[in-house]
Chains A and B, each alone.
Chain A
Amino acid sequence: MGKHTEQREQKAEATTFMATNGRRQVEKDDDDFVDVDDSSLQTNQANYAWEEEYKRSWDVLQEDEHGSLAGVVNSLQKAAKRKRQLRDTDPIQRGIIRHLFILIDLSNAMQEKDLRPSRLSLTFTYLEAFIAEYFDQNPISQIGLIGTKDGLAEKLTELSGNPTDHIKALKMKKFMETGGEPSLQNALELARNSLIHVPAHGSREILVIMGSLTTTDPGNIHDTIARLMQDNIRASVIALAAEVQVLKFLSTQTKGTFGVAMNEGHYRDLLFEVIPPTAITTTKASANLVQMGFPARCNDSAATLCACHGKLTLGGYKCPQCGSKLCDIPTECDICNLTLVSSPLLARSYHHLFPVENFVEVPWKDAAMTTACFSCQKTFLSPHKVSVQLQSTTDAGRYQCKLCEKTFCTDCDVFIHDVLHNCPGCLSQPRRRAGGVIA
């Protein structure tokens, strides 16, 4: 690791990239020094938090002709639901074993306070949540953190599948010090050096979080980008200041995504978009069946030697193939090389494979057939108690599963599709033979 850093230590002439704003695309030239033109930033419509108009959220709510808010609230709810219903319920191929390096800009530009409390502290706060959620959805994936400042790149954590290591590193004071200019090239090369060694069946990804508009590189960054493309590494970028040509180029060339954070909420959205496993594009040839073992946890009354450290320990996991005891999973058995994982970890991602079909809305005219939600026992609003006018502006709040024909309330509908991923109605029915059709 020290070697990598040394390699990258030679500083080159500072290269500044032009911030473009849609209309002004400046050809990027490594040796040119271009000042950032602030005036061009303001021409666009309110993209940044400080450009936004003062909004009064209560103005959005307007009473309908009967002086009731029910219709408005309902349409807002509907809008939220529609967003959810856009969800794809087709099982698609996703690369679930992922390897991701997060490059964090630790330059002075991160001290800017346009994102509150500051770009840096907001980034660290969001990253903590990001890491927890990432491992929730990508259970056997790995993350590594790289920081860049003073023209150097440094690994904050190695690529590993243990969220607590990364979160601990993010909490360390020494990693939060900023200084000088970032070096995009050094950081990318550092990540690349680690990523080219990961097995071919996993994805290789880089996420760049950049606050600075400039980078200090030892060589031509286009060579690095070409090497990333060659090694099938996908780089996505979140810029905190403005759209920078070279960052956009990097992400488009490597088939990643690019986004400029406009405000705190938007930043979070951009970051969390990286979490769901990406749909597989080109790596089909490297897909394979991997043999894995699901060890049992054992608690011996006497201490025995573990196979991984050769230490006397009490508890551990027993390799189902050779019977040796290991301290922690996921790991590879040191004796027989079998990959050992805990099966619940794998199961965390199964809801991506078997999503629950979207429920259909029940119109008011059929609403009298059901009196209560099947899963939470909440009684529905009876259609006889709702006036015809109100019925025309609201929905009945009943949603039906097409497969089991059970009816659910709005809360349960959202809970079933977003959290639970099981249809209680379908599960409660007598089991049909596999693939059987419900009569």
Chain B
Amino acid sequence: MTSVITSVCLLNYKDDSNLLVIVIDTNPFEWEHPSAPLKLNLALKHILAFMNAHLAGRHDNRLAVIASHVGASKFLYPTLNEPTPGSKVQTKKDANVYQVFKVVNDAVLTGIAKLLQDPRPTLEEKDLGSSKIAASLSLGLCYINQALKSDGMGHVKPRILVLTVSPDSSSDYIPIMNCIFSAQKANIPIDVCKIWGEDAVFLQQAAHITEGIYMRPDDPRGLLQTLMFSFLPDMFSRSYLHLPGQDEVDFRAACFCHKRIVDIGFVCSVCLSIFCSFSPVCSTCRTKFAFQPLLPSARRLGAKAGASNPGSPRPSSSSTPSAS
């Protein structure tokens, strides 16, 4: 308890504003599934309360909200026609609500309502993947990049929070990895709250690599509590708190050929593509492999290489008999 209090005090000394980018997974197939423990509109109430808490934490805290839908990913706040918070607002004023909260809440609610009104994505798209987490992360990183650029003083401390319900979409493996590494390079933690369901392997890796928090709440109906206690503290206060860690991190990858998640795979030594079974040609870089079990073909390949390249070498390969 004391640690919490000191952190709050220190927070007041530290002069930095937090930019929180929230990615909300709005995949209707998961939210409207009969077995879903929480409905989207109820979850949104929790999320809006959390957003307001973030904005209330400091006068210059900033927020961006991105929806990750099936087949689309778009900004909910700030939106194109309403670029900056605090600028002129078209919405009707409500004397009982803090204006900043109202702008955010309205923008998010109308944005999501618009997304859900759009013709439902066909089932085929659902089969091909879940929601557009990789796209939303890319958007968020671009937004943060711009925000850091325009903030000359280096005061803005960005972080990303992903609220997801969808299972991993393995076709997103490479884009998600690219996002993770650019976030890691820029020191942007990616927090992940998997509201229910199986662990999301790639997002788990994202949180692990960028030193964010990965959590699966015990009871999704208590979402607000999880959000407030685990994801509200900024990076500065986190060093004083004991936040949930990850006991087990799954480092599995998706194979390039079938997008299947594998724990043992064949890796092309030229381009490092991962395949789930042996094939004579790498589909990514078109390298033909010396297939050792079939000796004749291996010898033929070797002979060809020797002929085209007389100066080099049989001796080198014979000096390393235990190669590969």
Contact = CB atoms under 8 A, between A and B. Distances in A.
B271 A289 contact: no
Interface string A288-310: 11111111111100000000000
A429 B311 CA distance: 51
A285 interface: yes
Contact of B267 (A198, A289, A422, A423): A289
B138 A424 contact: yes
B38 interface: no
Contacts of B271: 91, 93-94, 96, 349, 352-353
A287 B290 contact: yes
A197 to B, nearest CB: 7
A378 interface: yes
Given A282-B312, A294-B252, A421-B178, A289 B143 contact: no
B274 interface: yes
Contacts of A294: 251-253, 262-265
Given A347-B253, A377-B143, A420-B142, A290 B285 contact: no
Contacts of B117: none
A430 B316 contact: no
Contacts of A292: 264-267, 274
Given A96-B270, A200-B320, A431-B128, A291 B301 contact: no
B89 to A, nearest CB: 17
A399 B117 CA distance: 31
Interface size class of B (residues with CB under 8 A): 35 or more
Contact of B178 (A95, A200, A420): A420
A200 B317 contact: yes
A408 B282 CA distance: 34
Nearest to B150: A378
Contacts of B37: none
A348 interface: yes
Interface string A82-105: 000000000111111100000000
A419 B209 CA distance: 17
B80 interface: yes
Interface residues of A, number: 79
Contacts of A232: 312-313, 316
B253 A288 contact: no
A351 interface: yes
Contacts of B315: 230-231
Contacts of A411: 145-146, 149
A94 B273 CA distance: 12
Interface stretch (B11-19, B70-78, B157-165): B70-78
B205 interface: yes
A98 B137 CA distance: 31
A343 B251 contact: yes
B227 interface: no
Interface stretch (B41-49, B92-100, B213-221, B242-250): B242-250
Given A372-B80, A419-B182, A343 B269 contact: no
B57 to A, nearest CB: 23
A234 to B, nearest CB: 12
A291 B265 CA distance: 6
A377 B63 CA distance: 13
Contacts of B272: 96-97, 140, 346, 349-350
Interface in B173-223: 173-175, 177-182, 185-186, 205, 209
A320 interface: yes
Given A201-B323, A353-B285, A427-B175, A348 B317 contact: no
Interface string B301-324: 110110001011101110110111
Contact of A428 (B78, B135, B282, B311): B135
A298 B141 contact: no
A412 B251 contact: no
Contacts of A428: 72-74, 132, 135, 139
A275 interface: no
A2 B250 CA distance: 42
Interface string A268-296: 00000000000010101111111111111
A346 B174 CA distance: 10
Given A288-B324, A344-B205, A422-B175, A376 B264 contact: no
B142 A376 contact: yes
A245 interface: no
B292 interface: yes
B263 to A, nearest CB: 4
Contacts of B317: 200, 286
B28 interface: no
B287 interface: yes
A433 interface: yes
Nearest to B286: A93
B291 to A, nearest CB: 8
A416 B323 CA distance: 39
13 contacts: A96-B269, A231-B315, A232-B312, A284-B305, A290-B324, A296-B249, A343-B274, A375-B138, A375-B142, A416-B138, A419-B145, A422-B138, A430-B121
User: Which 7 A/B pairs are nearest by Cβ-Cβ distance?
Assistant: A343-B253, A427-B135, A375-B142, A430-B71, A376-B146, A285-B305, A347-B177
Interface of A: 91-97, 140, 196-202, 229-232, 280, 282, 284-299, 320-321, 338, 341-344, 346-354, 371-373, 375-379, 408-409, 411-412, 415-416, 419-424, 427-431, 433
